[in-house]
Structure 1
């Protein structure tokens, strides 16, 4: 019975983390589901014990340190609210990992991501919540109210659907479809960056597969297929992106004619100056907005963390990334290792243009990545 409710709660948490977290008034539902999930795990620990708690020691220091920064924050009320937001995302990632270690089924995450993608796509098509830039160009925001966030959530859903689903045509084609949909509708430059990563993944994974083939005829056939698939995917991706507002924005960025990029560069420069004022301990969580000219967050995860928590917090936060990447690179599950390492690199690139340390989808990804690195045996993954 505990396993049944555990999987239901994991499914609901993943679903609502993607769909309801950014929605004012409804985001609390996600946190309620998280509390119920934690209660389920607590009950399980009393009855059966919990596996995996000692394995996630490197997650704890950043949580403790972020809490400590409230003490020297100038605006402590705001810092406390930000810490609560951070802690719910953080605990969600840990809860997902511990759930998978203690009877949770990866299907819960797959189906939660799948349903979330349907809802996000439907909301982007039907909702009136859009950001209009010109008479002909718009950025769909969907239920999230934020086009960048909707695009990032769709990409993460696509990633989980592909990496955790059975290897059949739907789980190969549908993720690519929603990625292209996200590029075309959200106008987010971050999403365009996904395309080269997909091509790199296909080349590396197929090349490795070909190397294990002994028959020269089969090798030749696979190389031929690869030479056909890569240009085909590239052509489809370019055809969609060339007519999208995201591509137009990317060209402006490359040409240096994008006002948004100029503002963000200025925010980064001011963030570096603010970090130099408190380089060791930082100004406190979410204090960039109060010390800077811009009266908002920095739009750069590296700057946000350094200003908030100094070099100590920066090291502790990215220690989590480093440790999981280290375990992934040592993993014997080569297919998933390559996929998840590339997703990590993509996330690190994204973080130059977004603040992600409070995002639930990021911590869910971290929790699943750690589980993939350790326990993704062939009998546990849908795709095998």
Structure 2
């Protein structure tokens, strides 16, 4: 009987952990299983590092991200509600250790591509599960059985973008089946953020393909415009999609127009941003403690105990301008390294990661992602592609 190698065991746990991010992270109780898989994966990675006596890598991204984590940890001591801040710190430390482990584990493009496929197939499995369990007799947003539908839509969006890269790279049209399934589920979650994220990222990917000829750029731009019009035609003319997401997109456009919108959720979240900005101006440098926006919201406005739905405001209120600047600087460092890597390795690969990171940064206005495990994977892998490129060459 063939023995299972340590690397094969790591790959197995890696896949199940990535899958758990999709199906367990947002579910109360089940997220413990996901965290256990993370700890097991981290243990196996560091066992391999010790056995192979690998050199420990601590890049500039990790250094800046470490400073962000330290600011978050310090904020516990002056937080309005220290227990809330401490709970969030536990999540951030787990993500940090996972990022550190991934950066030291992924030393070949083969490992990088395997992790990308873990995301692709986890997203596809999640999409199939959601479709099987959906009740189409009721016109409502699907995916809530796995947690927050916006979070589900966003992480499936990552899968679809990674899948598009493989489709363009290999011309294996089975990947188009996965992309189509993912896009249908994203539309049926009714997540405006996920739809905009996917559209923005795919357009960036199509424009920044390998071929830099001007004619190819115009062709990619034309395809992008057709893709955008096709998506918005479908959500406005197919009754199922219109009821779930088309109408929601309409209220969003109304909000940004001079006429305004009657969508209460949009109006309330706009007020939440304004409240957060006013609180930030009172404590601009260090904030009120990580994840303590919800404390201020419940005590000052009576709107309930919830987060700000805006990553920038959440960090400004929680960690002040110092913590916010460090977090986004870490994102920018990864983008810079990817742009450098694009000169010596697949441009499509690098700009795919850039598209995802930039997409998340743009969507900061409508979601909180500093504690998101999925984008943590993307930042970790993105930060090492330049090193892999130099090694491969």
TM-score interval, normalised by the smaller of the two chains: 0.7 to 0.9
Q: Does 1:25 align with 2:34?
A: no
**Post-superposition offset of 1:24:** 1.8
- Note the 1:1-384 alignment, pairs <5 A: 1-51=5-55, 53-55=57-59, 56-101=62-107, 105-127=111-133, 137-163=139-165, 167-170=170-173, 172-174=175-177, 176-193=179-196, 194-205=198-209, 208-210=211-213, 229-230=223-224, 233-242=227-236, 243=238, 244=241, 245-255=244-254, 256-257=260-261, 258-292=263-297, 293=301, 294=303, 295-331=305-341, 332=343, 333=345, 334-376=347-389
RMSD (Å), alpha carbons: 2.9
| Unpaired segments ≥5 residues, structure 1 | 212-218
**Post-superposition offset of 1:353:** 0.5
Q: Is the 8 A contact 1:151 1:188 kept in 2?
A: yes
Which residue matches 1:214? none
Question: After TM superposition, where is structure 1 displaced by more than 4 Å over at least 4 residues in a row?
Answer: 222-232, 376-380
Give the secondary structure class of the aligned counterpart of 2:141. strand
Q: Is the 8 A contact 1:51 1:102 kept in 2?
A: no
**Post-superposition offset of 1:161:** 2.9
**Post-superposition offset of 1:2:** 2.8
Which residue matches 1:215? none
Q: Which moved more, 1:238-247 or 1:68-77?
A: 238-247
| Unpaired segments ≥5 residues, structure 2 | 255-259
| Cα distance per residue 1:45-85 (max 9 Å; x no partner) | 33323345222322211122211111111211121111112
Looking at structure 2, the residues matched to 355 and 223 of structure 1 have their Cα atoms a distance apart, in angstroms, of 33
> What's the TM-score once normalised by structure 1's chain length?
0.85
Looking at structure 2, the residues matched to 129 and 30 of structure 1 have their Cα atoms a distance apart, in angstroms, of 27
Q: Which moved more, 1:52-61 or 1:94-103?
A: 94-103
Looking at structure 1, the residues matched to 178 and 70 of structure 2 have their Cα atoms a distance apart, in angstroms, of 37
Q: Is the 8 A contact 1:7 1:104 kept in 2?
A: no
> What's the TM-score once normalised by structure 2's chain length?
0.83
**Post-superposition offset of 1:307:** 0.7
**Post-superposition offset of 1:94:** 2.9
Looking at structure 1, the residues matched to 133 and 161 of structure 2 have their Cα atoms a distance apart, in angstroms, of 24
| Cα distance per residue 1:273-331 (max 9 Å; x no partner) | 11122111111111111112232110000011111111111122112102111111212
